Amino acid sequence: MHRHLQKIIWSAVLMIMGIGLLALYSATYGNVRVTQEVFYDQSLCALVGVGLMFILSRVDYRKFFDAAYIFYGLNVLLLLGVLAAGRYAMGAKRWMELGAFSFQPSELMKLALILALGRYFSNRRPSLSFNLRSRVGVVWGDLVCPFLMAALPMALVFKQPDLGTAFLIFGVFLVILFASGLEYRYLVWFMILCVSAVPVIWYFLKGYQKMRLLVFLNPNIDPLGAGYTIIQSKIAVGSGGLFGKGWLAGTQNQLNFLPERHTDFIFSVIGEEWGLVGTIVTIGCFFILAHSGLNIAQNQKDRFGMLVTAGIVAILTLQVVVNVGMVMGLFPVVGITLPLISYGRSSFMVFVLMVGFLLNLSKRRTVF
């Protein structure tokens, strides 16, 4: 059974990578701002990534459990290091440089938090008592403590500023909290508290972040500024029709009307050149990957494995939904990549690691 599931995961991931490389080649073909070196860079990452997935699928599963807190702590230190001495680019401090190599610790934190929360909740068991003391213990141990674990990296990422990744971290926390078996009433009260904090969050947003949210409501309030990219993106996706204009034949893409088409808005390239059919195939591959992850979670007898799988499926699904919605004007522009398709070494390799974990967990059914 697990071999069949692994074949499905491998097929979906290789298909996604192939679609991404074709779209990235087109996005950089004749691009006046970005050279095709990023295509070759991503191709190398894909080759290395396939090897990493193969290796991770065969590593002793218990090592991930043992190193979860250490991995989380190291990533918190990296986020602090970015704020102190990170590279400033495009209005944010998100990159850590080690010689000629640069990466985003916020991307790695997604996986680190999933492992840390998975280990934390795997060590807790539901209380059988309903007295006041047990209720206080549930609120503190099953809600407050894990929230603090998520809130620390959220605050550090938000400070960079990176609103999109902070949102994703919070989303993963909610999904793992739900999967842990916390009573619904606590979840409901927690969500009410979070919604009531939205006006406070608005106060701390940067000017360009507020503008992005306002442009989401009406892109025409700044058609040549913050609203330009989303307007051009919607034109590109809509003009693709059913079968698209053909590879390397998208006008919005090839005539350089669409900024950031090799990163956050690469889905618009797929929509314009391959049409509705191409976008459905792309989303379908992600659906197969997420559905396979849910099957793995359902068959996990180990609580840690189940929670980690749920977290990986959550971050994958959230990032795909938000990116596609952002490209189509359904969500605000928050700077989130399309997993395994958009250019970006940090994001690409982190999702490679996550898929490697899925392949590993698909073979595990034992409790430890």
CA-closest candidate to residue 16, choices 53, 59, 56: 53
DSSP class of residue 206?
-
Q: Residue 14 belongs to what H/E stretch? A: helix 2-28
CA distances from 254 to 13, 33, 40, 363 (A): 27, 12, 19, 45
Lowest-pLDDT choice from 57-66, 96-105, 274-283, 328-337:
96-105
pTM score of the predicted model: 0.89
**Segment 199-244, tens digit of pLDDT:** 777 776 766 666 666 665 666 665 656 577 788 888 888 888 899 9
- Per cent of the chain over pLDDT 90 is 43
Please report the pLDDT score of residue 129 as a whole number: 43
CA distances from 42 to 212, 292, 305 (A): 29, 25, 30
Counting Cβ atoms within 10 Å, is residue 50 exposed (0-12), middle (13-18) or buried (19+)?
middle
**Segment 238-263, tens digit of pLDDT:** 888 899 998 988 888 777 788 888 88
**Segment 86-119, tens digit of pLDDT:** 776 666 677 777 766 778 888 999 999 999 999 9
DSSP class of residue 367?
-
Q: What is the Cα–Cα distance from 359 to 368, expressed in whole angstroms?
A: 19
Q: Residue 360 belongs to what H/E stretch? A: helix 345-361
Q: What is the Cα–Cα distance from 190 to 187, expressed in whole angstroms?
A: 5
Q: What is the Cα–Cα distance from 310 to 66, expressed in whole angstroms?
A: 19
- Domain extents in the chain: 2-361
Q: What is the Cα–Cα distance from 156 to 139, expressed in whole angstroms?
A: 24
C-beta separation of 76 from 149 below 8 A? no
Identify the bridge partners of residue 337 per DSSP, sorted by sequence position: none
C-beta separation of 87 from 96 below 8 A? yes
